[in-house]
């Protein structure tokens, strides 16, 4: 299983749970060597198999090299989790074109680059054995309620559209495609909107379950969608947001 952005947050929790479920895990990250190494060490310490793969998934060239490196290390790819993402907040009046580009490159273009490489390898029409792709969207795609979240919300709405289109395109190639829309989850990404304390307080008022979610609660949904228990779930978008 390749998980993009697996050094921290939801991706790291997914990597740990995936290893528990017997997956060999490719832990992708962009800059935080120490965090990625710590995830791999945790997996190895309980007898699992994982390896770090540093690559900026917003860069097509680096993605091609990433998949080649995974080919050499693990041979086949069964599951791609398009999880890496960034949050930058700004009002529409302050919208710096470069920040808008950064958001779409990391949150949307990366899905094209990684999914294309995955489909090449998984497609039964290409001699592959099928597979699963899971796209990390956000509650922001449908609620758009975050102050300054214009680019982020737009990028996550694009993820939802991409998810449906990709599902239509590759369903007959043995590849299941689904998305998850996490709500407010306790990870470093909250630094982009004032920090964890602000997000925790926000959750107490906004979320019907009156609490912030934990990355492990998203990881459980990823593992289910990746499994044969979800064998007829395709083109779906699963809300995991405490009712929000």
Residue 23 bears catalytic tag: no
Determine if 7 is a binding residue for ligand NAP (CB under 6 A): yes
User: Smaller CB distance to ligand NAP: residue 7 or 24?
Assistant: 7
- The reply to whether 67 sits near ligand NAP by the rule CB under 6 A is no
With CB under 6 A as the contact rule, the residue among 182, 207, 219, 244 that binds ligand NAP is 182
First to last CA, the chain: 29
Minimum Å distance from CB 54 to ligand NAP?
8
Distance CA 33, CA 46 (A): 21
Alpha helices in the chain (DSSP H): 9-20, 33-45, 60-74, 97-104, 110-122, 140-143, 150-170, 196-206, 215-226
Residue with tokens 């694009």: 158
Task: Out of 118, 166, 167, 184, point to the residue binding ligand NAP (CB under 6 A).
Answer: 184
Torsion sign (Cα): 187, 188, 189, 192: positive
**CA 119, CA 86: separation in Å to the nearest integer?**
24
Minimum CB separation of residue 126 from ligand NAP in Å reads: 25
Maximum C-alpha span of the chain: 52
Binding residue for ligand NAP, selected from 1, 15, 40, 84, defined by CB under 6 A:
84
Residues 126-165 that bind ligand NAP (CB under 6 A): 136, 138
Shortest CB 71 distance to ligand NAP, Å: 18
Please state the closest distance from residue 94 (CB atom) to ligand NAP, in A.
21
Distance CA 120, CA 184 (A): 34
In the complex with ligand NAP, which residue's Cβ is closer, 31 or 231? 31
Q: Using CB under 6 A, which of the segments 69-77, 79-87, 111-119, 123-131 binds ligand NAP?
A: 79-87
Provide, rounded to whole angstroms, the least separation between the CB of residue 154 and ligand NAP.
Answer: 13
Alpha carbons 243 and 169: distance in angstroms, whole number: 31
> How many Å apart are CA 99 and CA 107, to the nearest integer?
12
Which residues are known to be catalytic?
152
Summarize as ranges the residues that interact with ligand NAP (CB under 6 A).
4-11, 28-32, 35, 56-58, 83-86, 106, 136, 138, 182, 184-185, 187-189
């Amino acid at each position: 299983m390749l998980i993009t952005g697996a050094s921290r947050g939801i991706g790291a929790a997914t990597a740990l749970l995936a290893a528990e479920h017997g997956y060999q895990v490719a832990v992708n990250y962009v800059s935080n060597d120490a965090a990625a190494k710590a995830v791999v060490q945790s997996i190895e310490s309980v007898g699992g198999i994982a390896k770090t793969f540093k690559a900026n998934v917003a860069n097509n060239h680096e993605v091609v090299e990433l998949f080649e490196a995974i080919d050499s290390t693990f041979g086949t790819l069964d599951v791609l989790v398009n999880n890496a993402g960034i949050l930058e907040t700004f009002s529409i009046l302050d919208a710096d074109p470069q920040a808008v580009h950064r958001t779409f490159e990391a949150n949307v273009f990366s899905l094209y680059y990684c999914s294309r490489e995955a489909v090449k390898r998984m497609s039964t029409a290409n001699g592959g054995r099928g597979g699963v792709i899971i796209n990390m969207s956000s509650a922001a795609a449908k609620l758009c309620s975050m102050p300054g979240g214009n680019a982020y919300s737009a990028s996550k709405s694009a993820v939802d559209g991409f998810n449906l289109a990709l599902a239509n395109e590759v369903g007959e190639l043995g590849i299941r495609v689904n998305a998850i829309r996490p709500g407010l989850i306790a990870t470093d990404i909250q630094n982009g909107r004032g920090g964890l304390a602000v997000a925790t307080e926000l959750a107490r008022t906004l979320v019907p379950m009156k609490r912030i979610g934990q990355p492990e609660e998203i990881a459980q949904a990823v593992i289910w969608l990746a499994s044969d228990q979800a064998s007829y779930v395709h083109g779906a978008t699963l809300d995991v947001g405490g009712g929000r």
